[in-house]
Amino acid sequence: MKFKALLLPIVLFIVLMACKESKKNVASKEDMHPLTTKLVAENGTYPKIPLEKDSVVVKVMQTRVKSLSSFPSIDEGLEENLQYMEKMAKQAMTEGDKPDFILFHEFPLTGYSSGTRQEKLPFTIEVPGPETARIGKIAQDCDCYVIFGSYVRDTAWPDHILSINTVMGRDGKIAKTFWKSRNIKRIYKDREITTTTVESVRDAYREKYGIEEEFPVLQTEFGNIAVSTVQFDPFIYAAFAMRGTEIMLRTATMFAVEDVVFTAWSNDFYSAMANFTLPLSSGYKAGESVIVGPNGAILAQHPSNEDDGIVEAKIPIAAFRRGRTIPNYALEMTKPVFEQYQQEIPINHMDMARKQLPQTGQEMKALLDSISRYNPPKKATW
């Protein structure tokens, strides 16, 4: 009995110390980079490099989407899609003003493929790879930046399907890649999106690339740009604006014009959205690619849902930049509310063994339902 009486405090002490160490490890992982990395200046300024000229031209490529799964072979599909991108880029060079940025949509190379994770993986590309080399040649020939989205596979993230926007520089080399920040959730009743985002593997992403790469901004001689496929998420775009974004380039699979207008207006930056086209008979509303000013004004918009074409606008970047600071948000006032808010789905929800990754949209929904902090899970509202 005396032995048991002595043993109990020892066991309790060990358990308490283990819990304390566990909490310490979680905290240290969470705070690994914020203590040493400066993300936003207190005085409202932001990093930039000198401009090469006072005005720049953005051209948005509204083009058809053809999935690799619909071709006899993947190589044939990639070749046809690459040739079409080259054709549209030549058109952009010969019509209107010379472009400084050419923005393609989310899937000009791979299209969208249905099926399980293992069935979708072959219909992805590697970055860098032969496709980025070809698109780099387009950027060199056009002497401009070329931006495009794609499904991507990466040996550093085995069996993950990444949604990445790649920026090809004027020298034909990759200037920057932008992971999708997070997927929209609870929009479908029976499934969830299975691609891997920064949010879904946040700690591993941060450890590999650094916290500054969560909302990266590419400083170019034509202005500070960022690229994203996120929709209906004001916090994400506010973070990009705080980091110094001047031109927000967006890629879409369908979208709401109001979202682009409000996002540009509320964050005081220029924005462009590239969408693909679909026949009206498909039942989906595609097209209507748009360029919006920081005051919410639509500078250019394609009138069609199903016709390919080019939308362009000239941005007076020097005048816009002169005396500009990052937007004036009510952060101090709203901070108490934000600190108590708990998002439904925890971050890092796809940081798991390869064999455990959800294979279908239905399995992804089951995963999110199982870890939901809300009970019952939030239902789709639109």
Split at pLDDT 50, 70, 90, the class of 254 is confident
| Domains by residue range for the chain, with CATH | 56-331 (3.60.110.10)
Mean pLDDT lowest for which of 35-44, 58-67, 112-121?
35-44
Return the bridge partners of 179, or none. 164
Whole-prediction pTM value? Answer: 0.89
Rounded to the nearest 10 degrees, what angle do helices 74-94 and 130-142 cross at?
A: 10
pLDDT digits over 234-252, tens only? 999 999 999 999 999 999 8
Percent of the chain with pLDDT over 70: 89
Q: Is 311 exposed, middle or buried (0-12, 13-18, 19+ CB in 10 A)?
A: buried
Q: Which letter does DSSP use for residue 211 in this model?
A: G
pLDDT at 376: 65
**What single letter denotes the amino acid at residue 121?**
L
Around Cβ 219, how many Cβ atoms within 10 Å? Answer: 16
Asked if residues 146 and 173 have their Cβ atoms less than 8 Å apart, the reply is: no
pLDDT digits over 101-137, tens only? 999 999 999 999 999 999 999 999 999 999 999 999 9
pLDDT at 375: 78
